[in-house]
Amino acid sequence: MAMWGGRFAKETDSLVRRFTESISYDRRLYPHDIRGSQAHARMLARQGIIPAADAKAICAELDAIRKRIDAGKFEFREELEDIHMNIESALIAKLGPAGARVHTGRSRNDQVATDERLYLRAEADEIAALLRGLQTALVTLGAAHPDLILPGFTHLQHAQPVLFAHHLLAYVEMLDRDAGRLADCRRRLNVLPLGAGAIAGSTLPLDRESVAKELEFDGVMQNSMDAVADRDHLVEFLAALAVIAMHTSRLAEDLVLWCSQEFAFLELDDAFCTGSSLMPQKKNPDVAELTRGKTGRVYGHLVGLLTTLKGLPLTYNRDLQEDKEGLFDAIDTVKLILATLAPMMTGAKPNAARMAAMAADPALMATDLAEWLVCRGVPFRDAHHQVGHFVAACREQKVALDRAPLALMKKSLPLATAECRKLFDPKRSVAARDLTGGTAPVQVKKQLAAWRKKLAAKPA
């Protein structure tokens, strides 16, 4: 007969079983499903709803089931659909009627919602640690080259000289905000749905608060319909993952550019590159390229879940089963990206000579010249226009800005003196930007020290 008891007169069709099963992917929830069931059983016993001996037997057998799953010795059955029924069926097979008491006062609706929150809490902590690992790699690389200067870019055009470490620290800041978003999401999802039942709660005297305390939730969800119907915590988690992926993709794009012959700013360790099946000279930054490519997958899972949720009436609908595969894949993808980028950055070798040569282009210090005029009372827009005119004149004369005769300079900048030529020095340029957030070595070294201290501290 069908697995759902007396209501159905026919066995479930084999195609329907394949169509509706989720055990092929939701089995990863097993430690959280078991932990939630144990807390629930202990609460039922405390409330006098089931015998204490039955609760004790249930918890002991659930421990045994966990060990079997850990060891790969548990048989998952497709016809039982999901992780909840696979574990409960094994429990009943061992304990009989005592095992059948475990589902008292709950539904798979609030059970899976609880499992997912327990799972996300653990994953949030793991991803936060991986973010710190990548931040540490970036800080370590920057600290190893504290005075290295390269051209900074806007519109992918040479803009102004900046410290290599300053560039890396930009990503450290981004990743720190990513960790903050993840922590924010973790805080919001840390409320217990269990006890909401299928939709309306229970007539049994459940003590939801004690279960929340045992499972380390901050409280219980206050509306039983909301508890089983929404997945906004998954959307928020996926959104946080999407932003992480976006930031790592931007870092990856910098690496792809820097590793090209045209830039030649950086070389990645051979262990993190691949060759060509045809061209023996090639060394391809495939990890960086795949980081960009995998970002689209993470975005897709976020949009997919939003699309699944947008038309669902309250409360639970089977559509919600589609919340897991994309979530699991996005988590796995982001964790792999972070885990791989950290050692890759640690082993990266900047080409100091190439960076210095490109940063020495005097055109990168044109803004310094404009600001020199500002310090002598010239309104910035006028200074900008004068320097622009000077740049155009040098281009017409085919002369570098720092080699232009003073007479040519004075035609565009009436206040120009011989001192202006000293401005076309990248070391002087970065050192002059000595303000909070600036690229001056004194500021960047201060930031590197602050980040080393922060990342070395034990996370809260």
Q: Is 159 helix (H, G, I), strand (E, B) or coil?
A: strand
- The 10 Å CB-count burial string (b at 16+, else e) for 319-353 is ebbbbbebbbbbbebbbebbebbbebbbebebbee
Per-residue pLDDT at 279:
87
For residue 32, is it within any domain? yes
- Given a contact cutoff of 8 angstroms between Cβ atoms, the answer to whether 444 and 166 are in contact is yes
Is residue 10's pLDDT more than 90?
A: no
Query: What is 24-74 written as a DSSP string?
Result: HHHGGGHHHHHHHHHHHHHHHHHTTSS-HHHHHHHHHHHHHHHHHHHTT--
Closest CA to 320 of 115, 181, 123: 115
The confidence band for 1, taking pLDDT boundaries of 50, 70 and 90, is: very low
**DSSP assigned state of 151:** E
pLDDT digits over 185-194, tens only?
999 999 999 9
- Look at 64-68, 276-280, 296-300, 383-387 and tell me which has the smallest mean pLDDT: 276-280
Structural domain including 46 reads 5-104
**Mean pLDDT along residues 80-107:** 97
**Mean pLDDT along residues 236-264:** 97
Could you tell me which residues are beta bridge partners of residue 153? 158
**Mean pLDDT along residues 163-189:** 98
Statement to judge: residues 298 and 352 lie in one domain: yes
Per-residue pLDDT at 8:
67
Please state, rounded to an integer, the average pLDDT across all residues of the chain: 96
State the Cα–Cα distance between residues 165 and 138, nearest whole angstrom: 8
Is residue 271's pLDDT more than 50?
A: yes
Domain boundary (76, 104, 132) is at 104
For residue 46, is it within any domain? yes
Token pair of 293, please? 């490519």
Statement to judge: residues 225 and 368 lie in one domain: no
Is residue 79's pLDDT more than 80?
A: yes
Contacts 24+ apart (CB under 8 A), 397-402: 400/362, 401/362, 401/363, 401/365, 401/366, 401/369, 402/362
Token pair of 252, please? 């990856």
**Mean pLDDT along residues 74-81:** 95
The confidence band for 103, taking pLDDT boundaries of 50, 70 and 90, is: very high
Q: Is 234 helix (H, G, I), strand (E, B) or coil?
A: helix
Strand 349-350 relative to strand 266-267: parallel, antiparallel, unpaired?
Answer: antiparallel
The confidence band for 276, taking pLDDT boundaries of 50, 70 and 90, is: confident
pLDDT digits over 283-341, tens only?
999 999 999 999 999 999 999 999 999 999 999 999 999 999 999 999 999 999 999 99
Active site residues: 155, 276
Statement to judge: residues 87 and 162 lie in one domain: no
| 0.85 exceeded by pTM | yes
For residue 109, is it within any domain? no
State the Cα–Cα distance between residues 161 and 30, nearest whole angstrom: 53
The confidence band for 75, taking pLDDT boundaries of 50, 70 and 90, is: very high
Q: What is the CATH number of the domain that holds 24?
A: 1.10.275.10
Statement to judge: residues 195 and 255 lie in one domain: yes
User: Hey, how many other C-beta atoms are within 10 angstroms of the C-beta on 107?
Assistant: 18
**CB contact set of 423 (below 8 Å; sequence gap of 6+):** 365, 368, 369, 372, 429
Q: What is the CATH number of the domain that holds 444?
A: 1.10.40.30
